Amino acid sequence: MARTPYKLGTRRSPLAMAQAKETCERLRDAHGNIAIEIVPVTASGDRIQDRPLAEIGGKALWTKELDAWLLAGEIDFAVHSAKDVETIRPQEIAIAAVLEREDVRDVLIGAESIASLPQGARIGTSAPRRAAQLLHVRPDCTVAPIRGNVATRLAKLAAGEADATFLAAAGLKRLGDTDTGYPLPTDEWLPAPGQAAILLECRAEDADARALLGIINDPASQRAVIAERALLAALGGDCHSPVAVLTEADGDSLVMRAALFSPDGAERVDDALRFSSDDSEAPARLARILLECAPPAITACFSGPEDGGS
């Protein structure tokens, strides 16, 4: 481990910086007083906030700058929110660790529950999953596109651009805020694939970095996140695809619950599968089950495994 300091790349947003600092703390706890420099970058997704992510390039807008720096050797590893990392990654980049997953729930800001939203409420979100899941149970509501970091979205809500919005409980907690909003129970409202997990990547051939990061990997969280990413890949889902999933450990098994929606929320299919934690093919089986029983309004949002996903 001759490099000093190691360079950890991250987006500049407050939440991304909090995740980078958490990663540094875990690395220093595991390896002693190791020297790590946080190298922030302004991602395209942070610069462009006036349009939905799916319209301007998808999840790659969160990763492309860090990918370029990583492949050029300007940083040694990169930290991401797992839900923001596209499913198909460059072969030269490896997922080296997944940190222990935080609270996976979405938090509703502006009302105590979905049921208590006012009739015809405007809900601020640019996430197809959140919009479709909301409209499925509350078709009277309307969706107002809102993007930006936590502070930006809360400010837009306070300015009256929407009556309510959603944030991730994990993000709020990592920013030191555990009092805002009302967490939605996962038996009623499923999160995004990989939600609440911090994912660390390095160059695939960098054995030193892989070993360094592997020490702080949480195997249970990694298994769940990799399974959810495999489901998304088998579905051929992208940033336009309304898909919700949660994988939880049950003894030596994993239980995956997933739901697919039409963009307007009118259609929903869901199912669950219990499988051995070493069964890497199980997520694809669940994807096939879901797509086989889904109506055209849902299957139109997914390309299937042949075309891949993002």
Q: Are 26 and 19 a contacting pair, CB within 8 Å? A: no
Query: Out of 46, 67, 76, 84, which one is annotated catalytic?
Result: 84
Report CA-CA distances (Å) from 70 to 12, 35, 63, 85. Answer: 16, 18, 10, 15
Q: Are 26 and 174 a contacting pair, CB within 8 Å? A: no
Which strands form 268-276's sheet, in the order they lie side by side? 243-250, 253-261, 268-276
76 in catalytic set: no
- Rounded to whole angstroms, the Cα distance separating 274 from 278 reads 12
Q: Which residue has the tokens 């949480």?
A: 218
Residues involved in catalysis: 84
